[in-house]
Structure 1
Amino acid sequence: MRIVVLSDTHGNSYALESVILRNTDADWIFHLGDGERELDNFLLSHQKLAPKIIHVAGNCDFDSLSQEVFVLPVMEHKILATHGHLYGVGSSLDRLTALAQTNGCDIVLFGHTHMKYESYENGIYYLNPGSASIPRDGSKPTFGHIDISPAGVVLNIAEV
C-alpha cells in the first residue's frame, strides 16, 4: 500500500497539483493542513480523486470544516494525521506521542513546522513531509510517502 503525504502548501496550487498528479496510483493521499483552499480548488476539477484524499485542518485553514485529527486503520497499522500546531510539535513530540498511544496508532503524520522529519521511536513511525511550498530547513520543497506491506513500513521524503 502506498500513501502520499503533503503539507503546508500555503496557496501554492502548482506544488499541490504536481505532487498529487504524479501520485494518482497511491491508495491514500493525506494533506496535513495549511492548504485547504488550493486542495478544494484542485478537487473541483479532479473529483474522481476525492475519495482517496484526506485533509486535516491547519492553523491557516480558517473556517475549515475538516477534522483536526484523523485516524485511519491500514492493514495491521493505525495512522494518526494532524497538522501539529495544537500539539506543540515545534518543540517536542511528547503530546503527539501521547495522542497516538491513546488512539492505538503506530504511524504519526504531522506538518506545521515546514521542516521534514522521519523517525522510528518506541514502536511509532513519525513523518513530517516538510513543506511542499515554503520549507524552513534550507531544503527544497518536499512531500513524503509511506509504503506498507507485510514486510513492514518504509517512510521516504522526496522533493516536489
Structure 2
Amino acid sequence: MKKIVIMSDNHGDQSMIDYVKEHEQDGDYYIHCGDSEAYDLRVLEGFICVKGNNDWSLDLPKEARLVVEGVSIFITHGQYFGYFNRELAMNDILTRNHCQVLISGHTHMPMFQKDGSFYYINPGSTTLPRGGSARSYAVLFIDNGKLDFRLKEIQK
C-alpha cells in the first residue's frame, strides 16, 4: 500500500506546506497541485509539483505523471478545464494521456469523484477554501489498484 499526500492552493502561505509535511511524515509521495506561490522552491523539496495560474515566476511543469502500484495518475493545476463541461474536459485529458486518476486543484473546493473507470481528485485549498469547504489537503491510499481517499481539514 502506498500513501500519497496531496495539497494545493496555499497561495504563498509557506506555513501550510510545513503543516502538511509535519502531519503526514509517512507519505510515500507528496504532490502539490499548484498555486504555491513559493518564493523559494526549496520549500517544495520532496513534492511532485505543477505550475498553477498564480505561479508566474516559478519554473515548474504544467503537468506531471505518476504510476503507483499500476495506477496511472495525471497531475495538473486545473485552470484549463473551465467551469462548463468540466468533467468532460477532465475525462478527455485522462483518455488522451492513458491515465486513470486526475489530481488537480484550482477550484479551492475538495472533490473525490468516480466516473466509470476514472477518478477525479481535488484536495481543496489549504488557505482560501471556497464553496463552504474547510481549509484542507488530501491523502490517497492505493492498495493493489484500489483507491481510498481521505480529506483532511487543517486544524490550525
The percent of aligned pairs where both chains have the same amino acid is: 30
**1:36–1:55 contact (8 Å) kept in structure 2:** no
* Structure-1 residue corresponding to 2:74: 80
Superposition deviation, residue 118 in structure 1 = 0.8
**Is 1:98 aligned to 2:92, yes or no?**
yes
The superposition leaves residues 11-41 of structure 1 with CA deviations (integer Å, 9 ceiling, x where unpaired) of 1112221012211210101000000415725
**Is 1:108 aligned to 2:109, yes or no?**
no
Runs of 4 or more, structure 1, over 6 Å off, are: none
Residue-pair matches, total: 152
**Is 1:10 aligned to 2:11, yes or no?**
yes
Structure 1 unaligned regions, length at least 5: 44-49
**Is 1:22 aligned to 2:23, yes or no?**
yes
1: CA distance, partners of 2:33 / 2:143: 23
Superposition deviation, residue 74 in structure 1 = 1.1
1: CA distance, partners of 2:37 / 2:4: 19
Q: Which has the higher helix share?
A: 1
**Is 1:53 aligned to 2:47, yes or no?**
yes
Q: Closer, same or farther in 2 for the Cα pair 1:103/1:33, shift >3 Å? A: same
2: CA distance, partners of 1:26 / 1:41: 18
TM-score, structure 1 as length reference: 0.88
**Which letter does structure 2 place at the counterpart of 1:60?**
N
Q: What do you get for the CA RMSD once the two structures are aligned?
A: 1.5
* Structure-2 residue corresponding to 1:136: 130
Structure 2 unaligned regions, length at least 5: none
* Structure-2 residue corresponding to 1:40: 41
